[in-house]
Amino acid sequence: MLNTSFLLVLLVMGAWVFAITRPSVALGSEKGLAPCPKSPNCVCSGFKNGPGYIDPLSVTGLPDPIALVEQILLQERGMKVVKRTESYLHVEVRSRVLRFVDDLEVLLDPEAGLLHFRSASRVGYYDFGANGKRVERLKGQIRRVKQARGV
């Protein structure tokens, strides 16, 4: 008979392995962001009536918003750029303790002057608001840069 501690270790290791692998679900691209699943571990500004909706951010007047977002994110620990184009950024966000990985995506809509965001956990059902807080913190940092530049 297996020890409960051993089973717990196996469970955590299994979740960790799953969390570090890239998701098989489609993420976004320069063409658009994927909608959030119904689970409360994702936020997205691309679908107004969808689950996990958050507001996009106006970036009118900023010369290269994607480069700015990348610069802001790379100042934080646990961030790794997976893909970057002039209108799209995909960053893996690794948690400090259990090393779980979330996917953060930013999409520029140049005609509307908006940045759209999607942040989602790869594992688990709840994220205790971590993805929403991450995006709101990022939006606040972008707002401070806009204000400092007088935009």
- In this prediction, residues 111-139 reach a mean pLDDT of 95
Residue 15 has pLDDT above 60, yes or no: no
- In this prediction, residues 131-138 reach a mean pLDDT of 97
Q: Which residues contact 79 (CB under 8 A, 6 or more apart)?
A: 73, 91, 92, 93, 94
Collapsing DSSP to helix, strand or coil, 136 comes out as helix
| pLDDT the model gives residue 68 | 97
Longest Cα–Cα distance of the chain, Å, equals 67
How far is CA 47 from its chain centroid? 15
- In this prediction, residues 15-33 reach a mean pLDDT of 58
- In this prediction, residues 47-67 reach a mean pLDDT of 94
Q: Average pLDDT of the chain?
A: 85
Q: What is the CATH number of domain 4-149?
A: 3.30.310
Q: Where are the domains of the chain?
A: 4-149
- 17 or 39: which leads in pLDDT: 39
Helices then strands, counting H and E runs in the chain, come out as: 3, 6
Q: What is the pTM of this model?
A: 0.80
Residue 56 has pLDDT above 50, yes or no: yes
- 10 or 149: which leads in pLDDT: 149
Query: Please, which pLDDT band fits residue 6 given cuts at 50, 70 and 90?
Result: low
Q: For 85-104, how does the pLDDT look when each residue is reduced to its tens digit (9 = 90+)?
A: 999 999 999 987 777 899 99
| pLDDT the model gives residue 63 | 92
